[in-house]
Structure 1
Amino acid sequence: MHHADADPPGRRASTGHPLLRAALALGCALALAAPAAAADGAPAGRSPARERVIVGGDQSYPPYEFLDQQGRPAGFNVELTRAVARTVGLEVEFRLGRWADMRRALEAGEIDALQGMSYSEERAKEVDFTPPSLIVHHAIFARKGDRPVRSLADLAGKEVLVLRDGIMHDTLRREHPEVKVVPADTHADVLRQLAAGRHDYAVMAKLPGLYLVRELGLSNLTAMDQPAAVERYGFAVRRGNEALAGRLAEGLAIVRNTGEYQAMADAWLGVLEPRGPTAQQVVRWGAFVVIPLVLLLATMAAWSRTLHRQVTRRTADLTREIAERKQKEEELRANQLQLLQADKMAALGVLVSGVAHEINNPNGLILLDLQVLDDVLRDATPILDAHARDHGDYPLGSLRWSRLRDALPRMISDALDASRRVKRIVEDLKDFARQESPELRDGVSIDEVARTAARLVEALLKKSTERFELALERGLPPIRGNPQRLEQVLVNLLVNACQALPDRSRGIRLRTFLDEARGAVCVEVRDEGVGIEPAHLARLTDPFFTTKRDTGGTGLGLAVSAGIVKEHGGTLEFESAPGQGTAVRVVLPAARREAA
């Protein structure tokens, strides 16, 4: 009698391998040596007194147990069960199906025994085991090229395929909860999914795994050499059925002692063992391999000498080419950095122009409303005070008027200051984002620009330092430019110089001079302040970069100034050292004297 859930012929273990056919032939001979058996495994002409037992097993676990191409039970376990049953006078009926179904059938009493089950202490609480018939080695299977693993602990965090309700399923759930266990119904399904690229690894008995890999043609799979687990494997009966367990154990001992067990093991479990080569094969292989190898080595030796001379010449050429290439790569890298910076500045200008417009409108409304609220509060305070005198302190909003009376003016004042600060930042953003060229005119005196800038910040200069010097060189050639925009640059530089002074004893000097070597008119603002770290010098004109974030700096002043100077065809240069002050020079091209 065969199990109704047997795999279709395409999923059953093949018997086409010559060694497996020999094993099947030996199994048939062993069966014929006993009294003739019926088709379902019961001996022909059996005595009515013989006890009938139903033995279950896995339908896809070759070479231990499986359904052959005709759907009949086959394998080492089947032959061993028949021999044991014959020895102790039992009539056996085989039912092979999916392992999980067979395990539940034993628990439900639908079958009497499983002919092969790995032992564990947890399983021993549910079923009774006989002495083991085999020691089964389990291995980790992986796709070729994947990272090898040595133990079950190395599978942490991986998706691992196992047989549903098999010993490795139980072991991983119990001892390695960090492993993501993926159960499959049959060992063939386990290996097919792994070969198809689903999940990371598989764990199963090594001999059935190698057998199925070969029979299914899964050439991209390999088994790790290190055993993942070693399990005792034998008969299991329902818990409490000590009589059947004893008879099976007795029959197993008899079959071992008669030598029949070893014959079956050699037939079924040696089907994958490689045979050693014969002496004739060794000689033939030596002739085909050694002689061509000697000829190849001789040819390579001659070729090596020729190559050595060519390599020496080529090495000198490559050394020169590498040096030239490195120089060109450095130049290319510098040009790329300049292009990236230019592109970043252009994109940032477009962005801040829109942002400034969107912020300015609501901020103007906030500023106007806050001023109105400030006036309202001044007028309402006497009224609210009178109400407090007549009726006592009272809640206004969520706070008492006695607390709000002092807090509200300060809150409105802080809000007004913050709104004005937002307005200043927006104006700086608009200046930074301005794309149109300034209206430039000829004949601009840089001395007049410097004097005007100094007058605009005169109050701040007197407050910040006791020593301010204005040194203007006479006879400077005029420049082409926009006086108001240049004044904005110098005002920014003078404000920065004032903010850099730790006390009023430190000085600031504003001077103009002619750089004849470059044909340029220069304006320099030098302070005796705290100086700038060398790492920050290269970023001073980057938008939003500032070393004064905690004192209200926006990082836009120097960025705007650098843009204005660039519009005039000039450059902004910095010299500084921590604790020694800072010098900033505006270098502008001088007009030709003929044009002047």
Structure 2
Amino acid sequence: MRRLWNRYLAPAQFRGLAARIVMVVAVLAAVALTRPALADTAGNKVRIAYTEFPPAEYQNEQGEPAGFFVDLTRKVVEEAGYQAEFIYLPVSRVYLYLKSGTVDVFPGLSGVPVLKYDILESWANVYPTQLNAWHLEDSEPLTHFDQLEGKTVIVIGGYTYGGLLTWLENSDRIRLTEAPNTRAALEMLKLKRGDYVLDYRETVGDMLTRPSDSKIRGSEVRSRYSAWLYSLASPRAAVLREELDDAYLRLVSRGEAPPVRAFEAGFVIPGFPQAHR
């Protein structure tokens, strides 16, 4: 019986075992061959946060990233040889994701105090932006930040104003009321539910189209610059900054992107909180 087992059954068992071993080896070899390709695909993606800040960046009615800064960012990323992956977030979440490295880059504004030690800013900037205090024509323009004391200031939901919102919330001399968006804030101003609206010139300028908007005026509070903000939690932050800046310059040289703007000392209204300049 043992001879029959050894002669007929054992070889069949070994043949099955050998076949399984060959199959496992083939699968492992296939995984080994595809792993570099998968790694290359993952490494080729750049995760880009964007938020609601029209006309620079926003989510359109189809749920897609839109705006001139989004379009330029996509073009720059592709010119650098990467694949752009946009992630729509409220700005507070953008800051959190930059700190954790969940996203690689954010096309935003320079000089955000709460991100000072968490990001690298691009060397290039694309456009300046201006924070205004919007008021009715029969109200006095803002020439000193202290004029906000005792006033009601309308702020836009989701905006941090580069950290200034926290200062305003902690002030016992300024009343805040929140509007869900810019249009709602302007209508609240016209109904005198607030004395000033804090919002950016680029955003409000495109909306002053209604006849009743003609009585709205703006006083400059602070000027800032755009920048690409790279997460220092990502090990490739410095490499991405250099490669994307170089890609932007190539696009400029071909006339496919707006020219490089020189950083200059921005305007800050007298009395503006020192910690947020």
| Residues 237 and 187 of structure 1, relative CA distance in 2, 3 Å threshold | farther
Amino acid at match of 1:52: K
Match of 2:95 in 1: 103
- Deviation readout 1:213-239 (Å, 9 max, x if unpaired): 43x886266232x42111122111223
Amino acid at match of 1:154: Q
Q: Distance in 2 between matches of 1:103 and 1:197?
A: 33
| Residues 66 and 49 of structure 1, relative CA distance in 2, 3 Å threshold | closer
**Paired residue secondary structure (1:105):** helix
| Residues 78 and 197 of structure 1, relative CA distance in 2, 3 Å threshold | same
Q: CA deviation at 1:183?
A: 4.8
Q: Check the 8 A contact 2:112/2:162 in 1, yes or no.
A: no
Amino acid at match of 1:212: M
Amino acid at match of 2:231: R
Match of 1:222 in 2: 216
Q: CA deviation at 1:139?
A: 1.3
Amino acid at match of 2:126: S
Q: Check the 8 A contact 1:172/1:179 in 2, yes or no.
A: no
- Deviation readout 1:16-54 (Å, 9 max, x if unpaired): xxxxxxxxxxxxxxxxxxxxxxxxxxxxxxx94861122
1:73 to 49, 54, 65: 65
Q: CA deviation at 1:170?
A: 1.8
Q: Distance in 2 between matches of 1:121 and 1:100?
A: 13
Q: Distance in 2 between matches of 1:250 and 1:193?
A: 45
**Structure 2 length as normaliser, TM-score?**
0.64
Query: Does residue 58 of the first structure (1) align with residue 46 of the second (2)?
Result: no
Query: Does residue 137 of the first structure (1) align with residue 130 of the second (2)?
Result: yes
Q: Check the 8 A contact 1:169/1:183 in 2, yes or no.
A: no
Query: Does residue 253 of the first structure (1) align with residue 257 of the second (2)?
Result: no
| Residues 52 and 209 of structure 1, relative CA distance in 2, 3 Å threshold | same
Match of 2:23 in 1: none
2:155 to 135, 139, 162: 162
Q: Check the 8 A contact 1:98/1:185 in 2, yes or no.
A: no
Higher relative contact order (CA 8 A, sep 6+): 2
Amino acid at match of 2:189: L
| Residues 192 and 128 of structure 1, relative CA distance in 2, 3 Å threshold | farther
Q: Check the 8 A contact 2:136/2:189 in 1, yes or no.
A: yes
Match of 2:203 in 1: 208
Counterpart mapping for 1:162-181 below 5 A: 162-164=155-157, 166=159, 168=161, 170-171=163-164, 173-174=166-167, 177=171, 178-181=173-176
Structure with the higher fraction of residues in helix conformation: 1
Counterpart mapping for 1:394-433 below 5 A: none
Query: Does residue 116 of the first structure (1) align with residue 108 of the second (2)?
Result: yes
- Deviation readout 1:141-188 (Å, 9 max, x if unpaired): 123433332243322222222345645362364499443344555444
Q: Check the 8 A contact 2:113/2:163 in 1, yes or no.
A: no
Match of 1:92 in 2: 84
State how many pairs are aligned: 215
**Paired residue secondary structure (2:220):** coil
Q: Check the 8 A contact 1:161/1:182 in 2, yes or no.
A: yes
Match of 2:274 in 1: none
**Paired residue secondary structure (1:95):** strand
What percentage of residue pairs aligned between the two structures are identical?
19
Q: Distance in 2 between matches of 1:102 and 1:196?
A: 33
| Residues 173 and 262 of structure 1, relative CA distance in 2, 3 Å threshold | same
Q: Distance in 2 between matches of 1:84 and 1:138?
A: 27
Q: Distance in 2 between matches of 1:248 and 1:184?
A: 36
Q: Distance in 2 between matches of 1:70 and 1:168?
A: 27
- Deviation readout 1:230-285 (Å, 9 max, x if unpaired): 1122111223432323333222332333221229x9xxxxxxxxxxxxxxxxxxxx
Q: Distance in 1 between matches of 2:232 and 2:185?
A: 30
Q: Distance in 1 between matches of 2:187 and 2:243?
A: 39
Structure 2: segments with no counterpart, 5+ residues: 1-39, 262-277
Match of 2:231 in 1: 238
Amino acid at match of 2:148: L
Q: CA deviation at 1:198?
A: 2.4
| Residues 262 and 133 of structure 1, relative CA distance in 2, 3 Å threshold | closer
Q: Check the 8 A contact 1:133/1:235 in 2, yes or no.
A: no
**Paired residue secondary structure (2:206):** helix
| Residues 153 and 218 of structure 1, relative CA distance in 2, 3 Å threshold | same
Q: CA deviation at 1:84?
A: 0.7
Q: CA deviation at 1:83?
A: 1.3
**Paired residue secondary structure (1:147):** coil
Match of 1:469 in 2: none
Q: Distance in 1 between matches of 2:208 and 2:254?
A: 34
Pair member with larger Rg:
1
Q: Distance in 2 between matches of 1:115 and 1:78?
A: 7
Amino acid at match of 2:129: V
Query: Does residue 127 of the first structure (1) align with residue 123 of the second (2)?
Result: no
Q: CA deviation at 1:98?
A: 2.9
Q: Distance in 1 between matches of 2:133 and 2:184?
A: 15
Q: Check the 8 A contact 1:206/1:223 in 2, yes or no.
A: no
- Deviation readout 1:533-560 (Å, 9 max, x if unpaired): xxxxxxxxxxxxxxxxxxxxxxxxxxxx
| Residues 49 and 147 of structure 1, relative CA distance in 2, 3 Å threshold | closer
Q: CA deviation at 1:76?
A: 0.9
